[in-house]
Structure 1
Amino acid sequence: MPNGGVFRFLFLISLFTLSLSSIPKYDNIFLPIHLHNDDSLSSSASSCPAPNPNLNYKPVIGILTHPRDGASGRLSNATDASNIPASYIKFAESGGARVIPLIYNEPTEKLLKKLDLVNGVIFVGGWAKQGLYLETVERILKIAFQRNDAGEHFPIYGISLGFELITIIISEDNNILDKYNARNQASTLQFVENADIEGSIFQSFPPDLIKKLSTECIVTQNHHFGISPEKLQGNEKLSNFWEILTISTDENNQVYVSTVRSRKYPVTGFQWHPQKNAFEWGSASIPHTENAIRVTQSAAGFLVSEARKSTNRPNDQEVRDNLIYNFKPTYGGKAGKGYDEVYIFE
């Protein structure tokens, strides 16, 4: 080897040796082989706490279908069709649950049997406020109250229309809602004075995200109806049932109740849509920022954490026979509007 090559070789060796000497030493880090050879370390490092036997680590959420195909007849014209936007299903799954569809117009006996398989329910958004749909929501809601009164923790999420229907049912007034202009709107959530978030959905939100809810438009509103704080508080039945957590304003600067929780039951009402930020893309107004996605994740996590408290342990095979995995979604977002994916039941 020429002298120049020898020199370069020795120079590289010296650099390599120097770099090795500069690597910090972590004497307290042990590889698995070290733990295997050291019984004192192995016994403590490999022990994991046993799962809490009082919690259900296989929670199942029932989601009630909504009439028609969710796409103004573009996907199905069947008069008995009903649907669940896939965003609600992904929402529940992202929190760590599986989903069973509750088909609103199926025989009552079949619907009730499915309710025995779930640990909580989501009432979705939409437009149906009367007839069989309202009756089905009321039936499920009463069963949820009965199960909670009997000692089972059984959570309900009423989202947009779902919240409106619970409000109609509790007030026993089909005209309790007022019109608002909050169609396809990103907004903030303003916490009411002295709002107690302990034990509410917002308890699961990181503190920095709680602050951003009131300063950044990171929730999605999409509704024509709602209820004002004054009207809710002025109705004895509603004020006894709901505790207001947040309010929001529509395009005309009219104030409405945006988040509530039941004073007695694990029931949360949203006028906004926690599922849309991460899983819907058809509207330009849906926020997809990192903080908006964290809103979806935190809301999903709270729902499933509540469902884990359910003492109901249904038969595994019956659950599998009824899971949403037995159905296929339809891609409805190709037109660039409406839901991206929807499950249609006929």
Structure 2
Amino acid sequence: MDCNSKQFQTQNSQNQSFQSDQEELKQENGEDIQYQEISKNSSQSNAIISISNVAHVKNTFISYPVIAVLSIPSGFQSYPKEEYSYIYTSYIQYFQQSGLRIVPLNWTDTLENLENLMDKVNGLVLTGGGANLMMREQEGEDKKFTQFSKVGIFLIELAKKKNEKGNYFPIWTTCLGFELLFLSFANQEIRSQFDSKNHFTKQIISQEAKKESKILSKLSKSLIKCLEEEEFFYYNHKNGFSKKQFLENPKINQNFNCIAYSKDLKGKQFVSIVEGKVYPFYGTQFHPEKLQFDHSSKNNKQFTMNQLRISQHIPNFFYTECLKSNQRFDSAQEQHTFLIENHQPVYKGGLDQGIYLFKNIKQIQNEINSNNLNTNNQ
């Protein structure tokens, strides 16, 4: 057993609640996939474990790293969630500007297909959006993870396994995706309510974070000062994590460093930027992509060149993280089959920016079955 495997070796104690959710997810998708046991490994949580970087394997047919972006259930009236999921064009454009190639993941796809694609790409992005992460099935019951959340957690667990085996695999999360990342580690609802709808605010950064943060390490002092003094990152959330919740939850603070806090419209402080201690997982509660690629009236705010440099720094940083992954598609033709370029964005129905739409897998199967039935009856 190699050094990385020993560091992440799990004990026999299991997190029964999470395992139950994974079994339920497996049954609902009709698949026979073995899931790794999730342990309460106290020795792991008490140590900051560094993962050795894996040398980037030069690829003869891929010029740039490829990342996967997970779709989320549709919240648009014209495209009901029973039939569609989507990805905002702003996320695609934001990460493409650094040279990253993008493969969309349809969250309703089979776990087997999702896992196969996760074995090909060099990183994962979990976006923002309006999907529910946790819901009560009945009044008075504790909230449980939604089906969408279970799929997202499944992908996070796959990424954790890869890193544990020495295969460097980064994740970037924004807003909803950031909340899901924390919830996946806490394995319960721990979010607080915040008044931060349609909100621009500053970053509160500690001196320690300025010295040690991987995200901030390549930013000049003047750009970090810009983060602290200028309100240009856009927030649009009602849930989040307070400073107290972060500091008092060992499942969170022993796995993540808080790089920055922000304040909502009532002055209440919440976690704004994080990066993993154990895994190369990163997240922001704000929307860095909107500064450049969402030109709706609510986000149509002029920005300075310094702000633009900071905004562009994030996908460039994630690009360098993805370079450390040694995964690849089998051929250029296979890679092309899955790229976002095979899809056309939609700009209609009162949308303030474009979306990539994806039909739910069950919807596609129903249409195939209907067409086959019509053919047989002719």
Q: Please classify the TM superposition score into its range, dividing by the shorter chain length.
A: 0.7 to 0.9
Task: Quickly say closer, same or farther: Cα 1:165–1:286, change in 2 above 3 A.
Answer: farther
| Whole-Å separation in 1 of the counterparts to 2:293 and 2:200 | 15
2:67 aligned with 1:61: yes
**Cα gap change, 1:341/1:197 in structure 2, threshold over 3 Å: closer, same or farther?**
farther
Map 1:163-312 to 2 at 5 A.
163-174=178-189, 176-198=190-212, 200-285=214-299, 287-290=301-304, 291-312=306-327
Matched, 1:133 2:148: yes
Classify 1:200/1:189 alpha carbon distance in 2 versus 1 (closer, same or farther; 3 Å). same
CA contact (8 A) 2:213 2:259 kept: no
TM-score normalised by length of structure 1:
0.79
Distance 2:179 2:320 in 1: 24
Contact map agreement 2:122 2:325 (CA 8 A) in 1 = yes
Q: CA deviation at 1:288?
A: 3.8
Inter-CA distance 269–305: structure 2 relative to 1 (3 Å threshold): same
2:209 counterpart SS class? coil
What residue number does 1:322 align with? 338
CA distance in 1, matches of 2:97, 2:192: 33
Structure-2 change in CA distance of 1:197 and 1:148 (3 Å): farther
More displaced 10-residue stretch of structure 1: 143-152 or 288-297: 288-297
Q: 1:148 to 1:215 in 2, by over 3 A?
A: same
Q: Is the 8 A contact 2:290 2:299 kept in 1?
A: no
Structure 2 length-normalised TM: 0.72
SS of match in other structure, 2:96 = helix
- 2-side partners of 1:217 and 1:165: how far apart? 25
CA deviation digits over 1:284-318, x for unaligned, max 9?
Answer: 34544133322221111001111011111222221
Quote how far apart the aligned CAs of 1:164 are. Answer: 0.6
Number of equivalent positions: 288
Instruction: Give the aligned residue type for 1:128.
Output: N
Residue deviations 1:35-64 (CA, integer Å, cap 9, x gap): xxxxxxxxxxxxxxxxx9656752001000
Residue 343 of structure 2 aligns with an amino acid whose one-letter code is: F
Task: Establish whether residue 120 from structure 1 lines up as the match of residue 135 from structure 2.
Answer: no
Distance 1:122 1:78, change over 3 A: closer
Distance 2:345 2:220 in 1: 33
Match of 1:203, SS state, is: coil
Distance 1:54 1:110, change over 3 A: closer
Match of 1:73 among 65, 77, 85: 77
Deviation (angstroms), 1:193: 4.2
Which whole-Å CA distance do the structure 2 matches of 1:209 and 1:287 have between them?
19
Q: Tell me the secondary structure at the aligned position of residue 330 of structure 1.
A: coil
Which range moved further: 287-296 or 109-118?
A: 287-296
Identity of aligned residues (%): 28
2:88 maps to a residue whose letter is P
Deviates most, 200-209 or 141-150: 200-209
After the TM superposition, list the runs of 4 or more consecutive aligned residues in structure 1 that deviate by more than 3 angstroms: 52-57, 196-199, 285-288
After superposition, the Cα gap between the structure-2 partners of 1:303 and 1:197, relative to the gap in structure 1 and judged at 3 Å, is farther
SS at match of 1:210: helix
Q: Which secondary structure state, in structure 2, belongs to the residue aligned with residue 300 of structure 1?
A: helix
Gapped regions of structure 1 (runs ≥ 5): 1-51
Letter in 2 for 1:320: H
1:257 is paired with a residue whose SS is strand
Paired residues of 1:278 and 1:288 also in contact (CA < 8 A) = no
Q: Structure 2: state its 5+ residue gaps.
A: 1-54, 134-144, 360-378
Check whether the contact 1:221–1:271 (CA below 8 A) recurs between aligned residues.
yes
* SS class of match (2:314): helix
How far off is 1:197 after superposition? 4.9
Q: CA RMSD in A?
A: 1.9
- Contact (CA 8 Å) 1:91, 1:296: kept in 2 or not? no
- SS of 1:182's equivalent in the other structure is strand
SS in 2 for 1:173: coil
Tell me, in whole angstroms, the C-alpha distance in 2 between the residues paired with 1:55 and 1:212: 37
**Structure 2 equivalent of residue 83 of structure 1:** 86
Larger radius of gyration: 1
